[in-house]
Amino acid sequence: MISLKINNIPVYVNEGSTILEAARSIGIKIPTLCHMKELSELGACRVCVVEVKGMRNLVAACEYPVSEGMEVFTNTPRVLNSRKTTIELILSDHRQDCLSCERNTNCELQRLSHKYDCDSRRFEGRTADFVYDDTTEYLIRDNSKCILCRRCIAVCKRQQGVGAIGVNERGFKTHVACPFDMDLVNTNCIGCGQCINVCPTGALQEKPEILRVQQALANPEKYVVVGTAPSVRAALAELFDMPMGINCQGKINTALRYLGCDKVFDINCSADFTIMEEANELVDRIKNGGKLPMFTSCCPGWVSHIEKNYPELIGHLSSCKSPQGMFGALVKHVFVKRENINPKDIFVVAVMPCTAKKGEKNRTFTDGLADIDAVITTRELSGLLKENGILLNELPDSETDSPFGEYTGAGMIFGATGGVMEAALRTAVSVLDPNAKLLPLEFSEVRGLDGVKEATYIVGGKPVKVAVVNGLKNVKTVCDKVKSGECDYSFVEVMTCPGGCVMGGGQPIRATIVKHRDEVAKARAGVLYSADRSMFARRSHNNGSLLKIYDEFLDRPNSELAHKLLHTHYTPRPKYIKE
Amino acid sequence: MDIKQLEQIKDTTFKNVGNRFTHAQLDGMNFDRQVLVCCSTGCSSESSQKIRERLAKLVEEKGLKRVHVGGTGCFGLCAAGPVVVVYPDGTFYSHVKPEDADEIVESHLVNNVEVQRLLYVDADGKTKPINEIESYCKQMRHALRNCGVIDPENIDEYIAREGYFALYKALTQMTRDEVVDVVTESGLRGRGGAGFLTGRKWKFTKDATGDKKYVCCNADEGDPGAFMDRSVLEGDPHCVVEAMAIAAYAVGADQGYVYVRAEYPIAVERLQKAIDQARAYGLLGNNIFGTDFCFDLEIRLGAGAFVCGEETALMTSIEGHRGEPRPRPPFPAQKGLFGKPTLLNNVETYANVAQIVLHGAESYNTIGTERSKGTKVFALGGKINNTGLVEIPMGTSLKEIIYDIGGGIPNGKAFKAAQTGGPSGGCIPASLQDIPIDYESLSAIGSMMGSGGLIVLDEDNCMVDIAKFYLQFTVDESCGKCTPCRIGTRRLYEMLCKVTEGKATLEDLDKMEELCYYIKDNSLCGLGQSAPNPVLSTLKYFREEYLAHVVEHRCPAGVCKSLLKYVIDAEKCKGCTLCARNCPANAISGTVKQPHQIDADKCLKCGICASKCRFGAISKM
């Protein structure tokens, strides 16, 4: 233990703690902009400076280690003035279009500026030449709002293991960009959007598609069908002043009807379809000597990662479309027949916790028709509702529409890491062992936030080793093992974002104090698991609607028609494309 | 390599080169004359390599078997370059051209008559042998002792000058503690700028625990106008190799890196040759001098970012990352290169080590002042006659450097200030020219020793403009990581621009000063923390010049273009039209034989008209 004094208050903390942590332990919060615990400890922004007795200069509390007998002052005029000046300097090189900024009222720079009573015009001068990159289908980088805290870089490199962005040039020209200032679309970026979630300002945001949704809703010719991903219901409430961990699906259904959607379905339902197809594909691969391990294919960031970085492993990916893709295909090719609607008049909207899904929508087509017409994130849905004056928290609950509104607990847990694996196991075990009396329902070994989880289950009398990966950086060891042939897994679930889709790049942005990250993930995943527990049907093959659709249209999982509608293929893609 | 072999190389080579070291002919030498051509960057840029080749060819053709032609590092008097020196006479030829080689050979080497027209003329108008030239008399060449004396590409010549004997002594006769102690007692301080006691740094690294340790050499000299380290590497690379081996022994390292900027191709080439030669002799590698000490050395090229001279940025760069400083602590002695304890010293610091180890701490700590021991190398530049490289004992006054060694200010102009320490340093006004040059005195007056750039400014330099120049350098060279340095220096620069444009107010001066102290207090690394020094020191010593810009909208030195106006004196103007014909902006009008006028709106203030006018009719106001 180290003993020190902060503002003359005795503090005892473990050796190796930073001043920031020591101060926090006694209830003093030192402001930060660039800091993210364990991911980014740069001391770059200098907002966290404090005075240490005996030191000539101020030091950055976020990285400065405590030492025995140290005397720290966090609130002297010298410290407060310095912080104020730092923020004012940052503001002088910032676009300052707060009133119309996406992050207005949820911006860390704005909050600090207000807290330190900053004069946003005290320093005037030239702003750096900035890059505006909207080349991808899923996100926009607007460097005129970038404050060079480099959290995005740290998340991309150290959490996701991608490293699509870094720092270019030096001096006042320093900026965050792709290698050689390439457009993001031509790089190894996989679109996960984790960078957006850690950006303290509005320099990063998803590529908005609200306008197209509004136009479709206003067009009487269009039949607007909407489906909501499991994770959306676990987080949207946070944006309407409700506490974390509230399931608001019933209110979302009502809100979507208020908006004028013609049918309100649920992606949980197509998740059940995914399980039917995927579990059967797995069983087929195990029985008939197909390529193992089989990788899940629900996550578009992961699929993109394989195509760009491990093209030789493409054969391991399940050929199943993601629940989003299946949803669109089912609506446009099955639902229309029942309702006798021209598929071209249908406009399918998916509400997703994810930015990469925006990219995915442009790659799945059936009979030349895009499966999905628009993908909006949880944040965009909130914006749409607010713009329409819909007070989500005051709305009554309502049910989803038939037939693609019916779902099981298996579809529900898709949003949490391990959820796809667990859902697939629930069905695979039954397929392989239809006569078994007491089938397992909960597979707790694959739940939780560990980066790589392993388990072995007896399926059809045989041990099947599985792995669940979340946080893309963690997938490297698994992929390398598969490449070298040392891998003994049969089935691997990968979700790009740590914690799974509940922590996706399209979810509500929480102020980035990383120690809270896991709590957020747990609270949101908790919504899905408790909803699962409260359901009567918890196995995808017990979904009544689904069984009827198979009966009437698709025949059986992996049938020829099922393959045409619900499966896809993959192509090796270059990591970088020369401009 | 053992000591007998080393002694033997020394004795054999001495017979070839010995009479360079004295100004009298020695007995038993293989050569009667030594013709040495400076082959450092400055003289090389004016074809000194060709001079050397030509001389060697002619000497061979003439069959002058008792004449040796060789290349050396910098002699120091770069302003007189290309330089050729003939020993033992000590004849100092300046501004030599390749075609002069024939005359030197024919007249001097064959007929024993010095070529008068090429002889260097000293300040008193006389020609003298090298050891009597005034500029050299007040110098003490310690770190530069082999520069201009030995062939840097020949390890034997280095050995002939006691080279690698210090390494032998350290490895075979001294414990690691004794090596650290002698360096500590010598009082040697880091020559990179901050002046940290070298021995203490060695001790910290020695005492640090780690399975692997490194020694590094900072040769990323980046201050504008500084070329001390480059000259040492070009003129005496082995002294750095030997010192790093000694340091590695002392701290317990087995691997070294020299981080040198790629803009120094000659230095890099010679250093690599030196490393290869040392390796071939077994002076690098395993079991050096038969001991269990193993050490090897590699060069790492920097891409030219100034910030990579900062120790943590340098190590980050060696590791293969973008060269950016990282927070300290942990200090390099605990956790440096690749996370291991690392010793980092600069070139000039290492250049002193071998002599200290060989001849004891007293050989060094008797030179200099109470707290600044030894000598310091400076690169003299700017408004000074003897532009070049000088080495003086600590405590020499600025005045002595400028007038006695530097030969004073050209064209009879008045000395105004000296800038030391590059972008991190400050300006010393003429009124303080008697201060002794040492670490404490310089920082007491708001400047710093820095690595040794010394730029002399005269009455024609505007101090606001000078501050702006250095700040612009920092704005461009900041790594861009921390806010105060990246944005703060830019805003400060913009305020200075306002001053030079006559648009600033007195409040702006206060705001500037406040911002300076903020940047010093809040920046992450030494680059940012010292960036405001040029501004603060000029504000301190030349405030009236700032006030002239702000209050009177006037630049007293006539440098700041926005505040300048060129006017034609109608009485003196003869109407010759020469100015109008030369004006690039067509800003001058008038009829022949009538006084002309300048259109101030069109005028670019380039000053061509004033320089062309034969009647002195055009002046700046």
Task: Report the CATH number that the domain containing residue A50 is assigned in CATH.
Answer: 3.10.20.740
Regarding whether A199 and A214 lie in a shared domain, the answer is no
Q: Which residues of B touch A43 (CB under 8 A)?
A: 327, 482, 524
Percent of chain B whose pLDDT exceeds 70: 100
Q: Which residues of B touch A172 (CB under 8 A)?
A: 475-476, 478, 480, 486-487, 489-490
> Which whole-number Å values give the CA distances from A352 to A94, A359, B59, in the listed order?
31, 12, 85
Regarding whether A127 and A45 lie in a shared domain, the answer is no
For residue B85, the model assigns a pLDDT of 95
Q: What is the distance between the alpha carbons of residues B121 and A26, in angstroms, rounded to a whole number?
A: 74
> Rounded mean pLDDT of B69-78?
94
Unique residue bearing structure tokens 């017979």: B15
For residue A429, the model assigns a pLDDT of 83
Reading the block at residue B260, the tokens are 């040198």
Which of residues A180, A206, A232 is at a domain's end? A206
Regarding whether A486 and A378 lie in a shared domain, the answer is yes
Report how many domains make up chain A: 3
Residues A112-119: contacts with CB within 8 Å, 24+ apart?
A: A112/A31, A112/A33, A112/A47, A112/A83, A112/A87, A113/A87, A115/A31, A116/A80, A116/A83, A116/A84, A116/A87, A117/A84, A118/A84, A118/A87, A118/A88, A118/A91, A119/A88
Q: What is the distance between the alpha carbons of residues A501 and A355, in angstroms, rounded to a whole number?
A: 10
For residue B507, the model assigns a pLDDT of 96
| φ, ψ of residue A56 in degrees (nearest 5) | -70, -45
Contact, A188 vs A575, CB < 8 A? yes
A–B CB contacts, 8 A cutoff, strictly below: 101
In a domain, A81, yes or no: no
> Which whole-number Å values give the CA distances from B217 to A1, A130, B256, B317, B589, in the listed order?
37, 37, 8, 13, 61
Total Cβ atoms within 10 A of residue B397: 17
Contact, A541 vs A410, CB < 8 A? no
User: Taking CA atoms, what residue in B is nearest to A61?
Assistant: B327
User: Taking CA atoms, what residue in A is nearest to B488?
Assistant: A89
Regarding whether A471 and A374 lie in a shared domain, the answer is yes
Which of residues A164, A189, A206 is at a domain's end? A206
User: Taking CA atoms, what residue in A is nearest to B483?
Assistant: A45
- Please report the DSSP string for A3-50 in residue order: EEEETTEEEEE-TT-BHHHHHHHTT-PPP-SS-BTTTB----S-TTEE
pLDDT tens digits, A242-273: 988 999 999 999 999 999 999 999 999 999 99
- Please report the DSSP string for B375-442 in residue order: EEEEEEEES-SS-EEEEEETT-BHHIIIIIIT---GGGPPEEEEEESGGGSEEEEGGGTTSB-SHHHH
Regarding whether A277 and A173 lie in a shared domain, the answer is no
In a domain, A572, yes or no: no
Percent of chain A whose pLDDT exceeds 90: 87
Domain ranges of chain B: 31-131, 155-365, 375-461, 464-551, 565-620
In a domain, A55, yes or no: yes
Contact, A507 vs A233, CB < 8 A? no
| B305 vs A43, A45, A170: nearest CB | A170
CB-based contact (8 Å) between A220 and chain B? Answer: no
Regarding whether A286 and A350 lie in a shared domain, the answer is yes
- Written as tens digits, the pLDDT of chain A (579 aa) is 999 999 999 999 999 999 999 999 999 999 999 998 878 878 899 999 999 999 999 999 999 999 999 999 999 999 999 999 999 999 999 999 999 999 999 999 999 999 999 999 999 998 888 889 999 999 999 999 999 999 999 999 999 999 999 999 999 999 999 999 999 999 999 999 999 999 999 999 999 999 999 999 999 999 999 999 999 999 999 999 898 899 999 999 999 999 999 999 999 999 999 999 999 999 899 889 899 999 999 999 999 999 999 999 999 999 999 999 999 999 999 999 989 999 999 999 999 999 999 999 998 888 889 999 999 999 999 999 999 999 999 999 999 999 999 999 999 999 999 999 999 999 988 877 777 656 778 899 999 999 999 999 887 778 889 999 999 999 999 999 999 989 899 999 999 999 999 999 999 997 655 457 888 999 999 999 999 999 999 999 999 999 999 999 999 999 999 999 999 999 999 999 987
In a domain, A87, yes or no: no
Q: End-to-end CA distance of chain A: give it in Å, rounded.
A: 55
Helices (H) and strands (E) in chain B, counts: 26, 17
CA distance A439 to chain B (A): 52
Unique residue bearing structure tokens 């024939």: B102
Unique residue bearing structure tokens 């093959």: A541
User: Taking CA atoms, what residue in B is nearest to A128?
Assistant: B487
Reading the block at residue A313, the tokens are 């492993």
SS (H, E, C) A517-542: HHHHHHHHHHHHHHHHHCCCCCCHHH
Q: What is the distance between the alpha carbons of residues A460 and B106, in angstroms, rounded to a whole number?
A: 102
CB-based contact (8 Å) between A19 and chain B? Answer: no
Q: Which residues of B touch A90 (CB under 8 A)?
A: 483, 487
Regarding whether A112 and A36 lie in a shared domain, the answer is no
For residue B89, the model assigns a pLDDT of 86
Total Cβ atoms within 10 A of residue A393: 11
Q: Which residues of B touch A16 (CB under 8 A)?
A: none
Regarding whether A515 and A496 lie in a shared domain, the answer is yes
CB-based contact (8 Å) between A78 and chain B? Answer: yes
Task: Please answer yes or no on whether A171 and B520 come within 8 Å at the CB atom.
Answer: no
Higher pLDDT, A49 or B445: A49
Q: Which of A170, A175, A176, A201 to mutate to test the interface with B (most CBs of B within 10 A)?
A: A170
In a domain, A487, yes or no: yes
CA distance A79 to chain B (A): 9
CA-atom Rg of chain B in angstroms:
27
User: Taking CA atoms, what residue in A is nearest to B497?
Assistant: A125
Q: Is A31 left (phi over 0), alpha (psi -120 to 50) or beta?
A: beta
| φ, ψ of residue A209 in degrees (nearest 5) | -125, 10
Which residue from B442, B429, B500 is spatially nearest to B471, judged by alpha carbons? B500
Q: Which residues of A touch B483 (CB under 8 A)?
A: 44-47, 86, 89-90, 148
3 state SS of A556: coil
Give me the architecture of the B464-551 domain, per CATH. Answer: Up-down Bundle (1.20)
Helices B489-500 and B463-477 pack at an angle, to 10 degrees, of: 150
> Which whole-number Å values give the CA distances from A513 to A30, A110, A472, A517, B522, in the listed order?
12, 17, 20, 7, 23
**Structure pTM?**
0.93
Task: Please answer yes or no on whether B524 and A43 come within 8 Å at the CB atom.
Answer: yes
Which CATH number does the domain housing residue A516 bear? 3.40.50.1780
In a domain, A409, yes or no: yes
Regarding whether A532 and A464 lie in a shared domain, the answer is yes
Give me the architecture of the B375-461 domain, per CATH. Answer: Roll (3.10)
Which residue from A553, A539, A261 is spatially nearest to A401, judged by alpha carbons? A261
Contact, B468 vs B394, CB < 8 A? no
> Which whole-number Å values give the CA distances from B101 to B57, B66, B515, in the listed order?
10, 17, 57
Unique residue bearing structure tokens 């050689």: A180
Contact, B517 vs B484, CB < 8 A? no
CB-based contact (8 Å) between A127 and chain B? Answer: no
User: B155-365 belongs to which CATH class?
Assistant: alpha beta
For residue A437, the model assigns a pLDDT of 59
Q: What is the distance between the alpha carbons of residues B426 and B449, in angstroms, rounded to a whole number?
A: 9
Q: What is the distance between the alpha carbons of residues B157 and B19, in angstroms, rounded to a whole number?
A: 12
Contact, B109 vs B59, CB < 8 A? yes
For residue B446, the model assigns a pLDDT of 79
Q: Going edge to edge, which strands form the sheet with B388-393? A: B388-393, B375-382, B453-458, B415-420, B426-429
CA-atom Rg of chain A in angstroms:
25
CA distance A115 to chain B (A): 19
Q: Alpha helices, DSSP H only, in B64-174?
A: 101-103, 134-137, 155-160, 165-173
Regarding whether A507 and A485 lie in a shared domain, the answer is yes
Regarding whether A118 and A53 lie in a shared domain, the answer is no
For residue A513, the model assigns a pLDDT of 52
Task: Please answer yes or no on whether B478 and A174 come within 8 Å at the CB atom.
Answer: yes
Q: Which residues of B touch A58 (CB under 8 A)?
A: 521-522
CA distance A8 to chain B (A): 22
> Rounded mean pLDDT of B341-358?
96
SS (H, E, C) A397-413: CCCCCCCCCCCCHHHHH
For residue B490, the model assigns a pLDDT of 97
B585 CB-near residues (< 8 Å, 6+ apart): B602, B603, B604, B606
Q: Which of B481, B497, B515, B516 to mutate to test the interface with A (most CBs of A within 10 A)?
A: B481
| A46 vs B329, B482, B494: nearest CB | B482
Q: Which residues of A touch B529 (CB under 8 A)?
A: 57
In a domain, A80, yes or no: no
Q: Which residues of B touch A81 (CB under 8 A)?
A: 518
Exposure b/e, B496-525, CB count within 10 A at least 16 = b = bbbbbebebeeebbebbbebbebbbbbbbb
Q: Which residues of A touch B487 (CB under 8 A)?
A: 89-90, 92-93, 123, 172
For residue B443, the model assigns a pLDDT of 85
In a domain, A30, yes or no: yes
| A123 vs B491, B523, B524: nearest CB | B491
Total Cβ atoms within 10 A of residue B445: 16
Task: Please answer yes or no on whether A46 and B483 come within 8 Å at the CB atom.
Answer: yes
The three-point CA angle B476-B477-B483 to 5° equals 85
SS (H, E, C) A420-445: HHHHHHHHHHHHHCCCCCCCCCCCHH
Give me the architecture of the B31-131 domain, per CATH. Answer: 3-Layer(aba) Sandwich (3.40)
Task: Please answer yes or no on whether A82 and B490 come within 8 Å at the CB atom.
Answer: no
Which of residues A206, A226, A249 is at a domain's end? A206
> Rounded mean pLDDT of B49-68?
94
Reading the block at residue B396, the tokens are 């020499």
Q: What is the distance between the alpha carbons of residues B246 and B248, in angstroms, rounded to a whole number?
A: 5
Exposure b/e, B1-24, CB count within 10 A at least 16 = b = beeeebeebbeebbebbbbbeeee
Q: What is the distance between the alpha carbons of residues A124 and A122, in angstroms, rounded to a whole number?
A: 6
Which residue from A427, A152, A488 is spatially nearest to A279, judged by alpha carbons? A427
- Please report the DSSP string for B532-584 in residue order: THHHHHHHHH-HHHHHHHHHS---TTS--GGG--EEE-TTT-----HHHHH-T
Which residue from B345, B145, B313 is spatially nearest to B245, judged by alpha carbons? B345
| B interface residues, A as partner, C-beta within 8 Å | 305, 307, 322, 327, 329, 474-484, 486-491, 494, 515, 518, 520-524, 529
Percent of chain B whose pLDDT exceeds 90: 83
- What range does the domain containing A454 cover? 210-566
User: B565-620 belongs to which CATH class?
Assistant: alpha beta
| φ, ψ of residue A418 in degrees (nearest 5) | 95, -15
Q: Which residues of A touch B479 (CB under 8 A)?
A: 170-171, 174
User: Taking CA atoms, what residue in A is nearest to B522?
Assistant: A58
pLDDT tens digits, B6-53: 999 999 999 998 888 777 778 888 998 999 999 999 999 999 999 999
For residue A514, the model assigns a pLDDT of 46
Regarding whether A522 and A445 lie in a shared domain, the answer is yes
CA distance A10 to chain B (A): 23
Task: Please answer yes or no on whether B482 and A45 come within 8 Å at the CB atom.
Answer: yes
Q: End-to-end CA distance of chain B: give it in Å, rounded.
A: 71
Q: What is the distance between the alpha carbons of residues A396 and A14, in angstroms, rounded to a whole number?
A: 50
CB-based contact (8 Å) between A25 and chain B? Answer: no
Q: Please, how many CA atoms are within 13 Å of residue B215, restricted to the half-sphere of its CB?
A: 31
